Structure formats: structure tokens, C-alpha cells
Amino acid sequence: MAEEGVKVVGMWASPFVARVEMALRLKGVTYEYLREDLANKSEMLLRYNPVTKKVPVLVHGGKPMAESAVIVEYIDEVWKDGYPIMPADPYERAQARFWARYADEKCNPAIYVVYTSAIGEGQAKLVHEAQECLKTLQKALEGKKFFGGDAVGYLDIVVGWYARWVPIIEELSATSIVTLGGFSTSVTDQELPMIKAWFDRILAIDVVRETLPPRDKLLPLCKPDSDWVNLGGFWSLVAVGWIVSVMACVGSSNAVWVTAMMTWAGVHGVVLDGGWGGRSRVSSLSLTTGEGGTPLDVRAATLVVGAVAHRRRPRLECCPVVAVARAA
């Protein structure tokens, strides 16, 4: 029986594993999910995929196979009477494979690089490049509800994970790749309405929603390291006697902690309400001291935002951002 012994070796946050699960669920195939710890790869995984040692691995009737896009085609071929994943026409199949490859080779790295980018001038260029990749990919979508036509198909399965990951990346890097507004500081003024509409449609599909990692679990995983480690830098600045102003979200636990320590240390400071996920930039705010004293000119301040508050890059929401200025 075709359904005997179907196993997926995977990891919950892998978009490539999600592809395989999506395909199996579209076909109505029941499978056993074997959770893998990628930091500590099991002997089983290394036995099933000794060459690339990656997830996903599909095991069917004891035979393993790897590479998510290859596995999806396998699933379509074995359960050929079920939901059609690949187009029937050879030219359309070639097009689907072409765009899947384009997405993996060009779009993925372009999007990833935005995720790791620092806020600044260079970032706008990276966002623009990611947008250009997605605009090109969009050609495969034009005039259709899904890449597969009226229903989800191979290419939707291959790139469906963008609908979950791209908005998270936009939030974490404070950029707009597909959607203007929201958490972004509007790095470019372009948005991609066709892709955005497709994001909404694809996330409305049960099978897609069930297999993509939930946003509330994925977001914290994608966040860079916490700020706690770097507050040591903050204290060394305090020791030098600089006035420290701290911009933070009112109510954020980091802000409360920092304010308390400042009071204890007898350091003059300012807590600014940056707003929860707001668009504010430090330079656009006027600051006042806690006692209603003279506003500090932030433009004269030396911003130590990146180095002190955040190891990788500054984030303007939900963390203390430290602006350091000499006392007037």
C-alpha cells in the first residue's frame, strides 16, 4: 500500500520541511513526523542522508530521499491520483521548475540578506534588490490567484513560506519589502501588492497554515540575541559620567530595569517613549529630562545605539536604545 511507512524527518522552523508536509497533506497522506535537533544531528538522519545531512528527509517504505523540491515531485508522482501538484503540460512543468529554482537561488539569499542587514543607507539597496527578485518571480503569478492557477500548485508549495517569513523579516529589520507601513521605517517607497495579495490567499489555505511554523513561535526564534548582554557597555559609559538618555517602550521590562538601575546609580537620565513597534527615530524626537528640564538636542548627541544597546543592529522597538550626549 502506497501509504505504508511514510516518515518525515524534520525541524519545526524549517521552510523546506514545510514544503514536504504541505505536499503530503494536500495528497491526504498520513505520515509520521520525526523531530530532529539540528544542533545535535541524530544517527538516524546521518544514516538517511549521509551526503548533505540535512532535513527534510522523506522515508517511504524504508527508502530515504532528500532535497525538498525533489521530494515534492516524488510525492506528486507516487500519489498521482490525488491532488495535482505539478502542471500536466511539459512546458508548464518546465516553467514551474524554472521559477522554483529562481526562487531558491536568487530570492532566498536576497531576502535573507535583508534580515541580517543593519539599518542604514546600505539597507535600502538590499531591500530594493529583494524587491526586484520578488517582482521578477511575480511574473509567474500574473493574472492568477496562485502560482498554480486557481489552486495551490508546485511553485506555491516551494515559495509559500515567504508569506510567513517575509513579514517577520520586515518587522525585525524595520523594512518594507512587500508591504508599506506597519513596522517598517519605509526604506523604499515601493510595495508589491500582487505578492501581498498572494500572501493573504496562501495563508488562508488550511494545509499551508497547518504546516508553516506559527508566527508567534517563529518571531522570537528569528529575533537576534537579547539586549542584556550589551548593557555592560552602557555601564561603562555611565562610569565616565555621561548623561545617558534611554529610549524605550514604556512598559517594556528592559526599560523598567534600566531606569531602576539608573536611579540607583544616581545617573541623570531620560526615558523616552518610543512607542510599541513605532516608527520613531531618535533624531526626530525632542527629549526632556525626567524633571521637566531643558530639552537635549539629540542631533548633538553621539548615538551609541548599535554598539551599546544591540550587538547586531539597532532596533527601535521594544528594547532600550541608548543615546549618549555630553551634558550641556
- What is the 3 state secondary structure string of the chain? CCCCCEEEEECCCCHHHHHHHHHHHHCCCCCEEEECCCCCCCHHHHHHCCCCCCCCEEEECCEEEECHHHHHHHHHHHCCCCCCCCCCCHHHHHHHHHHHHHHHHHHHHHHHHHHCCCCCHHHHHHHHHHHHHHHHHHCCCCCCCECCECCCCHHHHHHCCHHHHHHHHHHHHCCCCCCCCCCCCCCCCCCCHHHHHHHHHHHCCHHHHHHCCCHHHHHHHHCCCCCHHHHHHHHHHHHCCCEEEEEECCCCHHHHHHHHHHHHHCCCEEEEECCCCCCCCHHHCCECCCCCCCCECHHHCEECHHHHHCCCCCCCCCCCEEEEECCC
Check binding of 93 to other proteins (CB under 8 A): yes
171 touches other proteins by CB under 8 A: no
| Size, binding site for other proteins by CB under 8 A | 22
Binding track over 11-50 against other proteins, x by CB under 8 A: ----------------------------------------
Q: How far is CA 31 from the centre of its chain?
A: 28
73 lies in the site for other proteins, by CB under 8 A: yes
Q: Is 292 in the site for other proteins (CB under 8 A)?
A: no
For position 60 contacting other proteins by CB under 8 A, the verdict is yes
Q: Which region, judged by CB under 8 A, interacts with other proteins, from 33-41, 87-95, 141-149, 262-270?
A: 87-95
Among 52, 284, 286, 294, binds other proteins (CB under 8 A): 52
CB closer to other proteins out of 60 and 310: 60
Among 97, 144, 145, 201, binds other proteins (CB under 8 A): 97
Q: Which residues contact 14 (CB under 8 A, 6 or more apart)?
A: 55, 56
Residue 65 lies near other proteins (rule: CB under 8 A) = yes
The three three-digit cell numbers of residue 328, written as one number: 550641556
Q: Which one of 1, 91, 286, 292 is in contact with other proteins (CB under 8 A)?
A: 91
| Residue 67 binds to other proteins (criterion: CB under 8 A) | yes
φ/ψ (deg, to 5) at 319: -150, 155
Interface stretch with other proteins, choices 71-79, 175-183, 244-252, 302-310 (CB under 8 A): 71-79
Q: Is 136 in the site for other proteins (CB under 8 A)?
A: yes
Nearest approach, Cβ of residue 102 and other proteins (Å): 7
User: By C-alpha distance, which of 160, 206, 203, 132 is closest to 68?
Assistant: 160
Of residues 67 and 171, the one with the C-beta less far from other proteins = 67
Stretch that binds other proteins, among 8-16, 98-106, 200-208, 296-304 (CB under 8 A): 98-106
Nearer to other proteins, 97 or 201 (CB): 97
Residue 323, all three cell numbers: 543615546
Q: Please answer whether residues 161 and 18 qualify as being in contact, where contact means their C-beta atoms are separated by less than 8 angstroms.
A: yes
- Nearest distance in Å: CB 73, other proteins: 7
If one asks whether residue 94 binds other proteins (CB under 8 A), the answer comes out as: yes
**Would you count residue 70 as binding other proteins (CB under 8 A)?**
yes
Based on the shown chain and the rule CB under 8 A, indicate whether residue 77 belongs to the binding site for other proteins: yes
Among 35, 47, 53, 101, binds other proteins (CB under 8 A): 101
Kindly list the residues in this chain that would bind other proteins in the complex (CB under 8 A).
Answer: 51-52, 60, 63, 65-67, 70-71, 73-74, 77-78, 90-91, 93-94, 97-98, 101-102, 136
